[in-house]
Amino acid sequence: VISHALGDLVNEEEALSRVIVTRAEKDLKEIKEVFAKRNNATIHEIVDRKTWGNYKAFLLALLAKE
């Protein structure tokens, strides 16, 4: 879901937000590890490149928590 949402961010912002928010306290660390292995980049790096403004700050803050 994260890969798809980051690939089509214009149409999938809601999906990206939903996944990061709902998984932030459960298994986001594991998701981040798997994502990095599959995509040769971290979720943090991709979110940093593909988002902007307060939305970017919000997602990066959630991703930084572990």
In which element (H, E) is residue 46 found? helix 43-50
pTM: 0.76
Q: What gap in Å lies between CA 23 and CA 10, rounded to an integer?
A: 21
pLDDT at position 65 is 62
| pLDDT above 80 (res 66) | no
Q: Indicate the CATH number of 1-64 among 3.30.460, 3.40.50, 1.10.10, 1.10.220.
A: 1.10.220
Q: What gap in Å lies between CA 42 and CA 48, rounded to an integer?
A: 10
Instruction: For residue range 17-55, list pLDDT tens digits in order.
Output: 888 888 877 888 898 999 999 999 999 999 999 888 998
| pLDDT above 80 (res 11) | no
Q: Give the chain's end-to-end CA distance (angstroms, integer).
A: 20
